[in-house]
Amino acid sequence: MRGIEELEKELEELKKDEELEELEEELEGKLVELDEELEKEKELEVELEEKLEEDEFELEKLEEELEEEELEEEELDEELEVKLEEEVEELEDEELEEGELKEELEEDEELEEELKEELEELEEELEGKFDEELKSLKEEL
């Protein structure tokens, strides 16, 4: 009987060995799958790093462009401010000149009025003298 028991034990050990081999094959298959996944992840990581570098480079370019645009905007603002100041000065000068011209015009109008009055007085005086002269000429005739 011992022989049968020993054979049964051997059979059980063989079954265990077969199961172990199957498990080992399964594990090897899973290990291969894991290696493939790891390789894919490494490739993906490399792609992501490259994309990140490209994005960082693009971001730097955009930041530089933004800085340049901000500088240009500042320069334009300064130019506009200078132009506005010049325009304001010109307008102030024109207003002063206009005020002076109005004063001159008022003075000219006053002078014209005075001259008209003097002219009227002279005309009256001349008419008076003319009338007197005419009278004296009539009397002489």
Task: Summarize pLDDT for 74-113 with one digit per residue, the tens.
Answer: 999 999 999 999 999 999 999 999 999 999 999 999 999 9
SS3 state of residue 1: coil
Q: What pLDDT is stored for residue 70 in this prediction?
A: 97
SS3 state of residue 141: coil
In a domain, 123, yes or no: no
Confidence of residue 39 (pLDDT cuts 50, 70, 90): very high
Instruction: Give me the residue label for tokens 């005086």.
Output: 125
Which ranges of the chain would DSSP assign to H, the alpha helix?
Answer: 2-140
In a domain, 115, yes or no: no
Could you give the number of structural domains in the chain? 1
In a domain, 29, yes or no: yes
Q: What pLDDT is stored for residue 13 in this prediction?
A: 83
User: Residue 90 corresponds to which amino acid?
Assistant: E
Q: What's the domain range around 97?
A: 1-110
In a domain, 28, yes or no: yes
In a domain, 140, yes or no: no
Q: What pLDDT is stored for residue 114 in this prediction?
A: 94
In a domain, 70, yes or no: yes
Residue 1: pLDDT above 70?
A: no
- When the pLDDT of each residue in the chain is averaged and rounded to a whole number, the result is 92
Q: What pLDDT is stored for residue 33 in this prediction?
A: 94
Residue 36, CA distances (Å) to 26, 42, 46, 48 in order: 15, 10, 15, 18
In a domain, 131, yes or no: no
Percent of the chain scoring above 90 in pLDDT: 70
Instruction: Find the mean pLDDT for residues 32-53.
Output: 96
In a domain, 55, yes or no: yes
How much is the CA Rg of the chain, to the nearest whole Å? Answer: 59
Residue 125, CA distances (Å) to 22, 87, 97, 117, 136 in order: 148, 55, 41, 12, 16
Residue 7: pLDDT above 70?
A: yes
